[in-house]
Amino acid sequence: MLRLVPLALEHVPLIMSWVNDREVTQYFAALQADVSEPEERRFVEALAASADDRAFSIFDGDEYLGQCSVNKIYWPARNGRVFIALRRAAQGRGHGRAALARLMEIAWGELDLHKLWLIVRRDNHRAQALYVRLGFEFEGVLRDEYSVGGRYLDMVRMAALRPVSQLGPGASVPGYAKN
């Protein structure tokens, strides 16, 4: 069964299994130089302690699959940025969908967020298909936004709004309240 476990320092050796794999990291502007284990430890320590990020390691039973998170949470507008990366051996088996669906449940439920957004490479059709499947819509194109391997890349911004069905019993939706 798929589990999202809050990010912890003990996950660093697992994260090292993909964080320098260019096949995986080519989709992230921030991961273009090799990362050492001590550097990754410092990064994980800060992320796990952050009040504006909620990061998780993804497991299927005992098998480590990758990472997902809601970052840059902007509490006044209740929105946050989605990140997901599966290590190479875990891709193409439907785990991305299960992990993101669980992350969205956490975002709408215990985090009480209103909007999730992300930017994805324009040519990353697999990730876009996953996001569309889970209710994300396209919001625009950011031209030459990333530089990966010396090449500028267009990014697409996508976002999902919390479905009305996920609101608590007493909640009202601004703009939809009956007067």
Ligand X SMILES: CC(C)(COP(=O)(O)OP(=O)(O)OC[C@H]1O[C@@H](n2cnc3c(N)ncnc32)[C@H](O)[C@@H]1OP(=O)(O)O)[C@@H](O)C(=O)NCCC(=O)NCCS
CB of 153 to ligand X, least distance (A): 12
Q: Which is nearer to ligand X, 80 or 96 (CB)?
A: 96
Q: Shortest distance, CB of residue 11 to ligand X, whole angstroms?
A: 16
Neighbouring CB atoms inside 10 A of 33's CB total: 8
First to last CA, the chain: 45
Tokens in use for 69? 């998170």
What is the nearest approach in angstroms of ligand X to the Cβ of residue 18? 9
Under a CB-based contact definition with an 8 Å cutoff, are residues 140 and 41 in contact? no
The yes or no reply on residue 159 touching ligand X (CB under 6 A) is no
Site map (CB under 6 A) of ligand X, residues 63-102, x = contact: ---------------------xxx----xxxxxxx-----
Considering the complex, what minimum distance in angstroms separates the CB of residue 161 from ligand X?
A: 19
Q: What secondary structure does DSSP assign to 117-157, as a single string?
A: EEEEETT-HHHHHHHHHTT-EEEEEEEEEEEETTEEEEEEE
Would you tell me which residues interact with ligand X (CB under 6 A)? 24, 27, 84-86, 91-97, 118, 120, 124-127, 129-130, 133
